[in-house]
Structure 1
Amino acid sequence: MGVMTIDRRVRALDALHGLAVGDALGSQFFVPAHRDALTRRGLPPGPWQWTDDTEMACSVVAVLQRHGGVDQDMLAASFAEHHDFDRGYGPAMNRLLRLIRQGGAWRELAVGLFDGQGSWGNGAAMRVAPLGAWFGDDPAKAAAQAARSAEVTHAHPEGVAGAVAVAVAAALATRPGTPEPREFLDEVLGYVPPGRVRHGVWAARGLAHVPHAHVAVRELGNGRNTSAHDTVPFALWAAARHLADYEQAFWTTASTGGDVDTTCAIVGGIVAAHVGAQGLPGHWATTCEPLPDWADVASVPAGGKDSH
């Protein structure tokens, strides 16, 4: 078991709170009555409910707090125990977590998904930013632990690579100072294994100077296909472009559509790892649904910035 420090816990909770707010407000884009106001950057009434992105991220943080690292058996058990069907899980994940809860072996079940390929979805990436922040002083360890966290549900190498890329980005985001976007993505690339996710992050690096999200999305995707390689590169592009401004990072990400709650959860977690809980817009943080008691984490803090 690793040794938990206050700094590690604070960094992870900052990222978790940012992830939850991004997820919860992003999920409002799928509520027809709220969509028009959101496209004009208006805010719907609360509370904003978070989705499976936040629920699974809470399990990641709970396991880190208890074990200092990723105990895969404990993480699988927590995912299964706290699985709420109404939080928007995909069909394959609903079935996998139900079978684990009934005594199935997660190693066999995760590898067996999609005709034995394992899942390359964005689910492992969407929940992992707090883990990256936890290991902010050691990006290589963040990458290794992110891979372990992914394998519990997303055994395909691309699903693992997506989690690694997000975790490393969150780890790097905890450093003081705000790097240039291309420099930031260059460092992330140093830890991402070869494949489609890595190619996408490389393309995001090449677009780091581009100010328009819709231009980036044409090359990188926006999560519409819910795959790691269709989600993570754009999320990292948006986070790198707006690492010091949570509100702008959210609207830039959300403006392109696609899997909005997940892309905004990823971006929110990375950016909050950099700006801290005090960098969240105050009204957004207090309108987000509180985090669950079982996760042993504080509710989303009040935030430190006024929002428009």
Structure 2
Amino acid sequence: MTSPSSTDGAERFATELERCVAEARLSAQVTHFHPEGQAGAITIAVAAAWAHRWREQRGPARELFDAVLEHTPPGETREGLEKARQWPLEATPTSAARALGSGRRVLAQDTVPFCVWCTARHLEDYEAALWSTVAGQGDCDTTCAIVGSLVALSAGRESIPRAWLEARERLQRTV
């Protein structure tokens, strides 16, 4: 018997959203006891699954909001996502951050809606996604990590600027 590759796991979670939600909830219970933290983890996990599928089955960016809202539990994070769904993707990131939050309060309900909005705005452009996220002037390391990971799934690793890849800190493998 062979073990599944990480790609098999990613594809499984991308197609089995109920399992994706359950696993996100379980993983978040360890670090985010509050229900809003768990709602944020669920939202981002579903967004990641959706972004992975979007790369192959492109559709309207607004469908990202439909997917996450279908699975995000009721609460402030969900309310923020509903507001983000209505916010024009053509609006400036600073106006979106003022309306949705951008992580300044370091809470899921203040971070996740803006991250999903930035992702939907730039599904195919990694660099633009991160510059838009930084323009929100909130918790930039967190918001950029979230948006960057989601857009890397939708746009692919090749969308990351070569200069950025070359400038990153080299990771050491230990065996």
Q: Which segments of structure 1 move beyond 6 Å, counting only runs of 4 or more?
A: none
Shift, 1:5, TM fit: 2.8
Cα 1:185/1:222, change in 2 over 3 Å = same
Corresponding letter in the other structure for 1:5: S
1:234-292 CA-to-partner distances (Å, cap 9, x unmatched) read: 00000011011101100000112110010000000101111222221111112112345
Cα 1:4/1:284, change in 2 over 3 Å = same
- Secondary structure in structure 2 of the residue aligned to 1:178: coil
Q: Does the CA-based 8 Å contact 2:89-2:120 persist in structure 1? A: no
Q: Does the CA-based 8 Å contact 1:136-1:174 persist in structure 2? A: yes
Structure 2 residue 164 is the aligned partner of structure 1 residue 284: yes
Which of the pair has the greater relative contact order for Cα pairs under 8 Å at 6+ separation? 1
Aligned to 1:223: 103
1:194-249 CA-to-partner distances (Å, cap 9, x unmatched) read: 00101111111011444311121121101011111100000000001101110110
Shift, 1:6, TM fit: 4.9
- Secondary structure in structure 2 of the residue aligned to 1:136: helix
> What count of residue pairs does the alignment treat as equivalent?
171
Q: Does the CA-based 8 Å contact 2:96-2:136 persist in structure 1? A: no
Aligned to 2:119: 239
Residue ranges of structure 1 left out of the alignment (5+ in a row): 12-132, 297-308
Q: Does the CA-based 8 Å contact 1:238-1:252 persist in structure 2? A: yes
TM-score, with length taken from structure 1: 0.52
Task: Measure the CA separation in 1 of the matches of 2:172 and 2:28.
Answer: 22
Task: Measure the CA separation in 1 of the matches of 2:170 and 2:76.
Answer: 36
Structure 2 residue 20 is the aligned partner of structure 1 residue 142: yes
Give the share of equivalent positions with the same residue, in percent.
43
Structure 2 residue 47 is the aligned partner of structure 1 residue 169: yes
Structure 2 residue 91 is the aligned partner of structure 1 residue 199: no
Corresponding letter in the other structure for 1:290: R
Cα 1:197/1:153, change in 2 over 3 Å = same
Q: Does the CA-based 8 Å contact 1:139-1:171 persist in structure 2? A: yes
Task: Measure the CA separation in 1 of the matches of 2:151 and 2:60.
Answer: 14
Structure 2 residue 139 is the aligned partner of structure 1 residue 254: no
- Secondary structure in structure 1 of the residue aligned to 2:33: coil
Cα 1:236/1:292, change in 2 over 3 Å = farther
Q: Does the CA-based 8 Å contact 1:178-1:244 persist in structure 2? A: no
Aligned to 2:150: 270
Task: Measure the CA separation in 1 of the matches of 2:170 and 2:83.
Answer: 36
Cα 1:134/1:264, change in 2 over 3 Å = farther
Cα 1:258/1:135, change in 2 over 3 Å = same
Q: Does the CA-based 8 Å contact 1:204-1:233 persist in structure 2? A: yes
